[in-house]
Amino acid sequence: MGYFDNLSRSLDERGKSIKNKYAHTVFDGFFTFLFAPKEITGNTGTHIKDGMDLKRTMVHVVLAMQLCLLFGCFNIGHQHFLAIGQEAGMFTKFFFGLFQLLPMIAVAHIVGLGIEFIFAAKKGHAIEEGFLVTGMLIPLIMPPDLPLWMCALATAFSVIIAKEAFGGTGMNILNIALTARVFVFFAYPNWISGEECWVTQDQNFIHAILGMGGTVPDAWTGATPLGLAASGGWEAVVGKYSFSDMFWGLIPGSVGETSKPAVILGALFLIFTRVASWRIMLSMVAGAAVTGLIFNAFGAAGSFLAVPWYQHFMMGSFFFAMAFMATDPVTASQTQTGKYLYGFFIGVVGMIVRVLNPAYPEGWMMAILFMNVFAPLIDHYVIQANINRRAARAAKLASA
């Protein structure tokens, strides 16, 4: 610890040249990653007395995603070998998915952290910690077969336009990872919709490493349960996937979203550590359930509207969006009442977009970004209502 302190002072004393700016930025990021802040508050007065700085908060979120990451690797391989009609063991499927996903994780981190490093050095401040979570989320919300250059472009767009343009970590109004996904959705829609994107094409290099052959045939489908429900109702879904498949996650979809137990365990970890708000999660479930019940009341048999409201939780990315996207502490509502309203309307808007949108049967990406924009307005009216209540109470007491 003393050695690092001396090195820090030495870098500080060498001036503000470009070379030393970059050196100090790298050192500071490495130092604060290894050690908790040494500054402490006194024993008297009202102070926060714990070591949970921003880096350690972000690390908790990354830890909560690890089960989703591990199962996502397995499911990439499972869907691939299922498509080519070839038997493979659990570890073979896992390592196939790992070899497929690792380059995307590396690209997202190299591009994102590289941009953060440049902006941090230019501004003369420490490397910001927010990308620790974003760099892991971006690969988990993308199709497994997304080209690496597309992942790099989406990452750069989201970090520069949705984050640094607003002032960096803590200043953005839109979720960074979802901005990367929405960039791919609008710029390269064929790579994130349809059936083919959810199953990796033949990877000769990875097959060679694993000592296997096989190619993806022309006649195969990677249709997700949502895609089937949109075209044929709930009957089309149960004709291909069982409840067990959808619950455990043995279905096509974005890398990290499919396994409900993995996501729910991650959500419980975030609630237990008080990193994420249970109010947002609970109200989002309520909003989706209420909207689903309304749809069921008016939906004709065999239509998307008639899909049982509780089955919507088993399809698509609802739980993943609820646990890791909607609860983003920067872009979500900050007031307690506002969190209930914010989460509830994400559930409502997400279900409306998912079911009534004719182009793409999913809605949480759009719903969360939409409510990100309205979160400050919600908090404004919640605070104003509180001010008005107190003013009325004070006026009543004054007149008594």
C-alpha span between 37 and 347 (Å, rounded): 38
Report the pLDDT value the prediction gives residue 25, as an integer from 0 to 100.
Answer: 57
What is residue 398's predicted lDDT score, i.e. its pLDDT? 85
- The pLDDT value recorded for residue 170 is 77
Phi, psi of 381 (to 5 degrees): -70, -30
**SS3 assignment for the chain:** CHHHHHHHHHHHHCCCCHHHHHHHHHHHHHHHHHCCCCCCCCCCCCCCCCCCCHHHHHHHHHHHCHHHHHHHHHHHHHHHHHHCCCCCCHHHHHHHHHHHHHHHHHHHHHHHHHHHHHHHHHHCCCCCCCHHHHHHHHHHCCCCCCCHHHHHHHHHHHHHHHCHHHCCCCCCCCCHHHHHHHHHHHHCHHHCCCCHHHCCCCCHHHHHHHCCCCCCCCCCCCCCHHHHHHHHHHHHHHCCCCHHHHHHCCCCCCCCCCCHHHHHHHHHHHHHCCCCCHHHHHHHHHHHHHHHHHHHHHCCCCCHHHCCHHHHHCCCCHHHHHHHHCCCCCCCCCCHHHHHHHHHHHHHHHHHHHHHCCCCCCCHHHHHHHHHHHHHHHHHHHHHHHHHHHHHHHHHHHHC
Residue 205: its pLDDT value, please? Answer: 56
Question: Mean pLDDT highest for which of 34-43, 190-199, 212-221?
Answer: 190-199
Contact 379, 334 (CB under 8 A): yes
Residue 167's pLDDT band (cuts 50, 70, 90) = confident
- If pLDDT is split at 50, 70 and 90, which confidence band does 157 have? very high
Q: Looking at per-residue confidence, does 233 or 222 come out higher?
A: 233
**In this predicted model, what pLDDT tens digit does every residue of 329-347 receive, in sequence order?**
889 999 999 999 999 999 9
Mean pLDDT of 161-179: 87
- What per-residue confidence (pLDDT) applies to 41? 60
Residue 371, pLDDT above cutoff 90: yes
What is the tens place of the pLDDT at every residue in 117-132?
888 777 766 666 667 8
Q: What is the pLDDT of residue 17?
A: 44
Report the distance separating Cα 308 and Cα 304, nearest Å.
Answer: 9
pLDDT digits over 248-271, tens only?
999 988 899 999 999 999 999 999
For residue 108, what pLDDT is reported? 94
Q: Of the given ranges (33-42, 94-103, 328-337), which has the lowest mean pLDDT?
A: 33-42
pLDDT, position 18: 43
Q: In this predicted structure, which of 75-79, 291-295, 299-303 has the lowest mean pLDDT?
A: 299-303
Mean pLDDT of the chain: 83
264 near 67, Cβ under 8 Å? no
Q: Is the pLDDT of residue 209 over 80?
A: no
Taking 50 as the threshold, does the pLDDT of residue 13 lie above it? Answer: no
User: Using N-to-C axis directions, what is the helix angle for 18-34 and 2-13, rounded to 10°?
Assistant: 160
Q: Are 84 and 214 in contact (CB under 8 A)?
A: yes
**Which residues does 120 contact at the CB level (< 8 Å), separation at least 6?**
25, 29, 126, 127, 128
Distance CA 334, CA 343 (A): 12
Question: Under a CB-based contact definition with an 8 Å cutoff, are residues 78 and 93 in contact?
Answer: yes
Q: Is the pLDDT of residue 83 over 90?
A: no
Residue 339's closest CA among 374, 294, 369, 384? 374
What are φ and ψ of residue 261, in 5° steps?
Answer: -60, -40
Token pair of 395 as six digits: 């006026």
Residues in Cβ contact with 291 at an 8 Å cutoff, skipping those fewer than 6 apart? 309, 347, 348, 351, 352
Measure the CA–CA gap between 116 and 244, rounded to whole angstroms. 42
> What pLDDT does residue 227 have?
86
pLDDT given for residue 30 in this prediction? 56
